[in-house]
Amino acid sequence: MSAPLPVVLPRRPLGRTGLDVTVLGFGAAPLGNLFSHLDEATSVAAVVAAFDGGINLLDMAPHYGNGLAELRAGEALRQVLQHRSRDSIVVSTKVGRWFDPMPTGRAAALAPDVGHAEVASPGFVGALPHRAVLDYSYDGTLRSIEQSLLRTGLNRLDIVLIHDVDVWTHGPDAIEARFSEAMNGAYRALSRLRDEGVVRAIGVGLNESEMCERFAHAGDFDTMLLAGRYSLLEQPALGSFLPLALQKNIAVMLGGVFNSGILATGAVAGARYDYQPAPAAVMARVAAIDAVCALHSVRLADAALQFALGHPAVTTLVLGAVTPNEVRRNIASLAAPIPPQLWRDLRTEGLLPAAAPTPEGPA
């Protein structure tokens, strides 16, 4: 089978790593059956469509479906690598959880001090029947990477991120212990692997800009994936984290630029925000943003995607998709025309901060 000719998507350097990534990446969370069961063939086809469409970055995590997303991504990568070189793609995954495939927990009993069983992951409705073990230790990090390589069939990874060391995941009482464990364990392991050339870039993947800042001050990180905290709906990362990332040359990957869906669907019944049904205040704000977009004949999703790329600290957007058509729609969204007056009107209506850069530049 001959390889389809890829679309030439813009690329940006991933900080000082020497890697270049397309401004859109494929986020594999939906492959873990996030919110709904996904057909196996369709999930693999979505990943293949991303690479065929010119995307060169795949981001995944063991957490997504207890390894299911990595397993499905691995099948897709085997198809992609039949007609592409491994060096032509950038693969990112995360550490912080490994999985015990034994129902009795016998594998964890062999190393009882490395972590504890995790509660069920919110949002994932179908997963591999393996027990999650939360573990930011040095050895646990190496174990997580080994399992990721086995699930994907790869022999190396390009980017490895420390996953979910934030208050949203662990609560205020446990966050200090988790942060210390991550810096003394996972960070040391990843730094060694980077020094040895085993991985090209290390970072964190979090839901809170404040914790991104804390890690940025505490260690030498190449990149950070921040989910949901810089979008057309809300910009808590604008004040201090994004300027810090620019100062330290930390490449920012943004996830959740649709805030779990509501900026893609609009304020419709059942719209999701932060993996939950959207509250009334969020619904009202999104409806107001959408109304301004409609005055300019602009799709809300197009405005949300292009806005997130407008900040100079942002290298790429990691977008999830469940079908090849969704992938192609995301790629096409980059080229959708958006008049500069749209951003000015959003500022006038108090729906966008004056300091937020937009694709045509600051106001």
The residues annotated as belonging to the active site are 59, 64, 94
SS (H, E, C) 78-109: HHHCCCCCHHHCEEEEEECEEEECCCCCHHHH
Give the span between the Cα atoms of 194 and 183, in whole angstroms. 15
Provide the β-strand partners of residue 99: 132
On whether the CB atoms of residues 359 and 338 are closer than 8 A, the answer is yes
Distance of CA 194 to the CA centre of its chain: 21
- Helix 209-218 vs helix 241-248: crossing angle, to nearest 10: 30
Give the span between the Cα atoms of 333 and 293, in whole angstroms. 14
Greatest pairwise CA separation for the chain in angstroms: 62
Distances (CA, A) of 203 to 68, 82, 181, 184, 218: 23, 29, 15, 14, 12
Cα torsion 94, 318, 260, 172 to 10°: value is: 40
Structure-token match 């699930």, residue found:
151
3-state secondary structure of 24: strand
Rg of the chain, C-alpha, whole Å:
20
Comparing CA positions, the residue from 130, 4, 137 lying closest to residue 71 is 130
E strand map for the chain: 11-13, 20-22, 24-27, 57-59, 90-95, 97-100, 116-117, 131-134, 159-163, 201-206, 223-227, 251-255, 272-273, 276-277, 314-320
Distance of CA 315 to the CA centre of its chain: 12
Q: Which amino acid is at 36?
A: S
Give the span between the Cα atoms of 160 and 95, in whole angstroms. 7
